[in-house]
């Protein structure tokens, strides 16, 4: 019996060690109530720069300073090929170039192996030794592409057993397909085609900025395009506050009620109007552009999880701030399921005449002055209701 236990523990260690993506134990000292995220170890390649690594894994070159701070190196320092960078809570875990004979199922199986899932459970629950038994009745956070679940450890539970119960390959196939705007049942992959490999456990509110910090960052997006290299702006979800009103005084004699302090956004696709509400009162209304065909713009209740100045447009590799960038000067991404906030959002436009029309690939367009006002007035976490 003792030999069997040792063999099982050894096999589990080997299984974790061979994971295709080397996920690290960043955040292990965070404690049980701390935010959960995974980290990726990246081996620097010849010619790599901090800016390039940041743009690949965080979809924003602007995050290079954060990577430098987390790894204890100068942000202006060059990178030495062969060294390792720890990338905490990346939006992507890499890019994949399709090879002959590849299928989406095979790619998903390689990119999201069971070994990586076990490692994610360990990171989320500060488990440093995979051979260490699980404490009965302990409550573990179990990561899933669709959201975390909790599991109360029962006698006999093991990490491998938890992976058998909770790791569902079909969910990761769907996640990969949705992120890249592919149909998992009928996707025909082209040799040389590049796929973004998203982090299925991305924590929207838990992006570390240093070796022991845990501040939030958000992903970026393009107008109806899968995100490949979009810039992000680090933002910490906060308690929403009332948007600034033109001519309003900064001093108040009475504290507003909680409902009056909470902004929200209502979008009416039938009229192409976006309204900002403070509690139940409409404070501003703007004309917008939306999906060119019915159903392209998602309907429902979402939250803003991304705030980006001068977003990079990945579909045509157009830098942020370029007059030709169709995303304009601001991006606010929505938490539409399986998109990591990188596909649908509220953004500006370089074609002002499109406002009021049904012309987009699914996003909400606004005039530059309007989207810039909204960006400053609305915090991350703001509720957005979209109705047809």
β-pairing, 92-97 with 194-198?
antiparallel
- Which position has the token pair 């012309």? 359
Q: Give the angle 370-377-209 at the CA atoms, nearest 5°.
A: 115
9, 172, 141, 25 alpha-carbon torsion, rounded to 10°: 60
Other CB atoms within a 10 A radius of the CB of residue 39 amount to 19
Torsion angle defined by CA atoms of residues 302, 379, 268 and 278, in that order, rounded to the nearest 10 degrees: 120
Residue 14, Cβ neighbours under 10 Å: how many?
A: 11
- What is the rounded distance in angstroms from the CA atom of residue 388 to the CA atom of residue 350? 25
221 in Cβ contact with 331 (< 8 Å): yes
Pick the catalytic residue: 21, 137, 151, 363?
363
**Which residues, 6+ apart, have CB-to-CB distance to 295 below 8 Å?**
none
Element (H, E) at 261: helix 258-261
Distance CA 129, CA 277 (A): 50
Beta-carbon-side half-sphere exposure of residue 31 (alpha carbons within 13 Å): 5
363 is catalytic: yes
d(C-alpha 220, C-alpha 226), whole Å:
10
DSSP state of 212: T
Nearest-5° angle of CA 236, CA 374, CA 266? 100
- Residue whose entry in the numeric block shows the structure tokens 């292990």: 28
Q: How far apart are CA 331 and CA 299, in angstroms?
A: 18
Q: Do the Cβ atoms of 199 and 38 come closer than 8 Å?
A: yes
Q: Rounded to 5 degrees, what are φ and ψ at 177?
A: -65, -45
36, two tokens: 């959960």
What residues act catalytically? 347, 363
């Amino acid at each position: 019996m003792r030999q069997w236990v040792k063999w099982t523990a050894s096999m589990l260690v080997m299984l974790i060690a061979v994971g295709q993506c080397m996920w690290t134990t960043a955040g292990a000292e965070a404690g049980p109530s701390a935010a959960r995220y995974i980290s990726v170890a990246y081996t620097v390649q010849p010619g790599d720069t901090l800016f390039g690594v940041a743009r690949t894994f965080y979809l924003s070159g602007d995050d290079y300073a954060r990577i430098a701070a987390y790894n204890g190196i100068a942000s202006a320092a060059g990178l030495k090929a062969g060294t390792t960078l720890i990338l905490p809570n990346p939006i992507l875990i890499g890019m994949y170039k399709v090879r002959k004979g590849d299928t989406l199922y095979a790619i998903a199986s390689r990119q999201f192996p069971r070994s990586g899932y076990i490692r994610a459970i360990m990171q989320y629950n500060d488990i440093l030794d995979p051979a260490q038994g699980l404490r009965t009745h302990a409550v573990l956070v179990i990561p899933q592409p669709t959201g975390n679940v909790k599991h109360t450890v029962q006698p006999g539970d093991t990490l491998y057993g938890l992976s058998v119960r909770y790791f569902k390959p079909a969910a990761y196939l769907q996640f990969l397909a949705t992120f890249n705007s592919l149909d998992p049942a009928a996707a025909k992959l082209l040799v040389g085609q590049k796929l973004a490999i998203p982090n299925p456990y991305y924590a929207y509110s838990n992006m570390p900025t240093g070796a022991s910090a845990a501040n939030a960052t958000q992903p970026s997006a393009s107008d109806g395009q899968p995100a490949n290299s979009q810039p992000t702006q680090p933002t910490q979800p906060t308690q929403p506050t009332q948007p600034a009103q033109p001519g309003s005084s900064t001093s108040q004699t009475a504290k507003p009620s909680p409902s009056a302090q909470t902004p929200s956004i209502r979008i009416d696709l039938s009229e192409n109007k976006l309204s900002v509400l403070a509690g139940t009162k409409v404070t501003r209304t703007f004309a917008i552009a939306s999906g060119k065909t019915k159903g392209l713009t998602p309907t429902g209740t979402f939250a803003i999880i991304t705030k980006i100045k001068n977003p990079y447009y990945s579909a045509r590799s157009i830098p942020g701030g370029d007059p030709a960038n169709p995303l304009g000067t601001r991006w606010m991404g929505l938490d539409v399921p399986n998109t990591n906030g990188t596909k649908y959002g509220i953004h500006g436009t370089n074609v002002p005449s499109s406002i009021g029309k049904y012309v987009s690939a699914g996003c909400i367009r606004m005039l530059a002055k309007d989207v810039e006002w909204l960006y400053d007035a609305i915090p991350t976490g703001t509720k957005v209701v979209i109705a047809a």
